[in-house]
Amino acid sequence: MKKVSKEKHLEIFYKMQLARDFDMKINKLVRRGFVQGMTHFSVGEEAASVGSIIHLRKDDIIFSNHRGHAQCIAKEMDINAMMAELAGKVTGVSKGRGGSMHLADFKNGNYGTNGIVGGGYALGVGTAFAQKYNNTDNITVVFSGDGATNEGSFHESVNMAATWKLPVIFFIINNGYGISMDIKKATNTPHLYTRAEAYGIPGHYVEDGNDVVKVYNEFEKIVDYVRKGNGPAIIEVVSYRWFGHSTADAGVYRTKEEVDSWKEKDPMKKYREFLVKKKIATNEELDEIVKRSEKEVDDAVEFAKNSPDPTLDIAYEDVYVD
Ligand SMILES: Cc1ncc(C[n+]2csc(CCOP(=O)(O)OP(=O)(O)O)c2C)c(N)n1
Ligand SMILES: [Mg+2]
Site to probe by mutation for ligand 1, drawn from 66, 238, 246, 253 as the one with most ligand atoms within 8 Å of Cβ, is 66
Residues of the chain below pLDDT 50: none
Instruction: Tell me which residue of 77, 71, 242, 99 sits closest to 169, measured CA to CA.
Output: 71
Q: For residue 1, what pLDDT is reported? A: 63
How many helices (H) does the chain have, and how many strands (E)? 11, 7
Q: Which residues contact 126 (CB under 8 A, 6 or more apart)?
A: none
Calpha distance 110→108 (Å, rounded): 6
Cβ-in-10-Å burial (0-12, 13-18, 19+) of 228 comes to exposed
Q: For residue 31, what pLDDT is reported? A: 80
Asked if 142 and 121 count as a contact pair (C-beta separation under 8 A), the reply is: yes
Q: Which atom of ligand 1 lies closest to the CA of 116?
A: 26
Any ligand 1 atom below 6 A from CB of 64: no
Q: Which atom of ligand 1 lies closest to the CA of 173?
A: 21
pTM of the model: 0.97
For residue 40, the ligand closest to its alpha carbon is: 1
Residue nearest to atom 18 of ligand 1 (CA): 145
Q: For residue 91, what pLDDT is reported? A: 98
Q: For residue 32, what pLDDT is reported? A: 83
Asked if 242 and 265 count as a contact pair (C-beta separation under 8 A), the reply is: no
Residue nearest to atom 2 of ligand 1 (CA): 117
Residue nearest to atom 7 of ligand 1 (CA): 117
Residue nearest to atom 3 of ligand 1 (CA): 117
Any ligand 1 atom below 6 A from CB of 113: no
Asked if 268 and 260 count as a contact pair (C-beta separation under 8 A), the reply is: no
Distance from the CA of 198 to the center of ligand 2, in angstroms?
22
Q: Which residues contact 313 (CB under 8 A, 6 or more apart)?
A: none
Q: For residue 38, what pLDDT is reported? A: 85
Calpha distance 308→275 (Å, rounded): 42
Q: For residue 319, what pLDDT is reported? A: 86
Instruction: Tell me which residue of 44, 52, 36 sits closest to 19, measured CA to CA.
Output: 44
Q: Which atom of ligand 1 lies closest to the CA of 40?
A: 19
Instruction: Tell me which residue of 169, 111, 171 sits closest to 140, measured CA to CA.
Output: 169
Q: For residue 17, what pLDDT is reported? A: 98
Residue nearest to atom 4 of ligand 1 (CA): 117
> What length does the chain have?
322
- Please give the domain boundaries of the chain with CATH numbers for all domains: 6-308 (3.40.50.970)
Calpha distance 241→203 (Å, rounded): 23
Q: For residue 226, what pLDDT is reported? A: 98
Instruction: Tell me which residue of 125, 108, 98 sits closest to 72, measured CA to CA.
Output: 108
Q: Which atom of ligand 1 lies closest to the CA of 66?
A: 9
Asked if 49 and 273 count as a contact pair (C-beta separation under 8 A), the reply is: no
Q: For residue 3, what pLDDT is reported? A: 82
Asked if 100 and 114 count as a contact pair (C-beta separation under 8 A), the reply is: no
Calpha distance 104→62 (Å, rounded): 10
